Structure formats: C-alpha cells, structure tokens
C-alpha cells in the first residue's frame, strides 16, 4: 500500500476500535449479569432511558454531555470513554505493527477478548467462560493461518500449566487458593494465540505484575494477602506486552546466553 493508503487504513481501524469499544462496554456490563448483549438497546443503567444514536458516539458524546445522562442528569462513569479510547488506540497500534493480513485479525480478536475479560474481572473478580473457552478454540483454529497448530497447542497447554503452578505456590505461601479456573483458561487462550514462547512470556509478565502490584497494594493499604486479587488484568497487560514487544524481548533474552 502507498503511504496515503496506509494512513487511511490506520485511521479507519482507530475509528472502528472506538465503536467496538462502545460495544465492549455493553459486554462488560451485561455478560456478568447474564443479560443479553443485543436487547434491549443501549440505555442509561440508572433511569433506564434509551440512549439516542447522537448520544452514543464514542468518547465525543461523553464530552458533549459533560459526563452526565441527558435524561436524568446522573454521572456517566469515566470507564466508558476509557474503554472506547483504549480499544481505538490498541486497534491503531495493531494496524501499525501488523499491517493487512491474518496476524492483524488474530491480534484484534485477542485484544478484544482481553479488554472485555480484564474489565469484567476488575468488577466481579470472575473471568467468564463464555468468552475465554470459545477464545481458546478460535486461537487454535486460526493458528492454522499463521504459525501452525502445534505451537498454538503447546502454547495453550504451557500457559495453563504455568498458572496452575503459580497458583500452587501462592497457596503454599498464603494458605489460600490463588488462581481460579478462569485464570487457567485465560492463560490457555493467550498461549493459543501467541504460541508457546510469547505465550510463556505473557504469562510470566502477568504473574510478575500481579505479585508486584497485588503485594505492593496489600502492603500500602495494610491488607492481608488473603484478600482476593483480580488476576485477569495482569495477564491481559502481560499479553499485550508480549504481543507488541515479545520478539525484541525474546531476542534480548537469547543474547544473554550467547
């Protein structure tokens, strides 16, 4: 593609990401509450008034409405534009990194799942199997279009095994169950998309972030380590780091032993 076509494609994907982010907000709110993501149409969660199309423009409507519902005047959570903007930026970065092709499509699917799962886990401390289990299947099947099925299968198994092992160590240290089954399936999902090397890196980074942030927060707030910590967001952050920076990190690591 020419430079102009590339810029046009990147901008279009950014805008598409904004609108997908708006839909992800619906998923984040409704899926853990076991509500349909299709019906009823978007509405204010407080006054239940339907949201008109001109009040449902990603990020822009939030700013124009001054973060308040047009009908009841109640505040709109800042998370809504945050998820929209985050999705738009990540879609743009994926377009810049991969260009047009199957790796871009797989990156978009993985990133979309991670966004929804991470924010649901933040709110409800649960990772819904309705997203992660089909995600593993999609990751394995679409691996046939890129690096191959075997590396994806090994990645899924390795990711799940690492989380099981980390959960076992956490249980020994705190005498409390650590990782749940949702974390294990999420790690398998990540490995199925990234393969065993980048998948292992993603899970490792997620575990390190979880220990540092979770343990640090517990110390600062003087809370017990037995308090439940949503681990999904850390795995998501580790996965994004591996997705965008995995190759140079692995090359750097490889040079240490040469």
The residues, ordered by sequence, that sit 6+ positions from 77 with a Cβ below 8 Å of its Cβ are none
The two tokens of residue 49 are 């008034």
On the CB side of 154, how many CA atoms lie within 13 Å of its CA? Answer: 10
d(CA 2, CA 242): 29
What is the pTM assigned to this prediction?
0.90
Distance CA 155, CA 224 (A): 33
Task: Phi first, then psi: give them for residue 230, nearest 5 degrees.
Answer: -65, 115
For residue 258, pLDDT beyond 70 = no
For residues 170 and 113, give the distance between their C-alpha atoms in angstroms, rounded to a whole number.
26
pLDDT at 223: 58
* Tally of helices (H runs) and strands (E runs) in the chain: 8, 0
Confidence of residue 163 (pLDDT cuts 50, 70, 90): confident
Domain boundaries, the chain: 1-100, 102-258
User: How sure is the predictor about 180, in pLDDT bands with cuts at 50, 70 and 90?
Assistant: confident
Torsion from C-alpha of 17, 22, 27, 32, nearest 10 degrees: 120
Angle between helices 232-255 and 79-98 (to 10 degrees): 30
% of residues, the chain, pLDDT over 90: 54
Round the average pLDDT of the chain to a whole number and report it.
Answer: 88
Instruction: Assign 171 a pLDDT band (cuts: 50, 70, 90).
Output: low
pLDDT above 70 for 175: no
**Quick one: average pLDDT of 166-184?**
71
Query: Is the peptide bond between 40 and the residue preceding it cis, with omega within 30 degrees of 0?
Result: yes
> Token digits for 194?
């990234």
pLDDT of residue 132 exceeding 90, the answer is: yes
């Amino acid at each position: 593609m020419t430079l102009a076509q590339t810029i046009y494609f990147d901008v279009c994907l950014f805008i598409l990401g904004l609108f997908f982010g708006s839909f992800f907000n619906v998923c984040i709110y409704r899926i853990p509450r076991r509500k349909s993501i299709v019906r009823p149409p978007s509405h204010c969660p407080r006054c239940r008034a339907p949201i008109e199309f001109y009040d449902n423009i990603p990020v822009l409507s939030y700013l124009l409405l001054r973060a308040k519902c047009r009908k009841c005047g109640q505040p709109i959570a800042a998370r809504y534009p945050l998820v929209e903007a985050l999705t738009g930026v990540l879609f743009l970065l994926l377009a810049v990194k991969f260009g047009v092709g199957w790796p871009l499509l797989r990156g978009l699917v993985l990133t979309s799942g991670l966004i929804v799962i991470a924010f649901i886990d933040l709110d409800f401390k649960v990772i819904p199997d309705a997203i992660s289990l089909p995600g593993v299947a999609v990751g394995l099947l679409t691996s046939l279009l890129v690096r191959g099925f075997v590396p994806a299968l090994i990645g899924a198994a390795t990711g799940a095994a690492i989380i099981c092992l980390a959960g076992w160590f956490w249980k020994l240290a705190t005498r409390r169950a650590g990782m749940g089954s949702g974390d294990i399936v999420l790690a398998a999902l990540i490995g199925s998309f990234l393969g065993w090397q980048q998948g292992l890196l993603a899970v490792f980074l997620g575990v390190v972030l979880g220990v540092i942030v979770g343990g640090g927060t517990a110390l600062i707030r003087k809370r017990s380590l037995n308090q439940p910590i949503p681990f999904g967001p850390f795995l998501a952050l580790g996965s994004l780091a591996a997705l965008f920076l995995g190759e140079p990190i692995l090359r750097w690591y490889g040079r240490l032993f040469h």
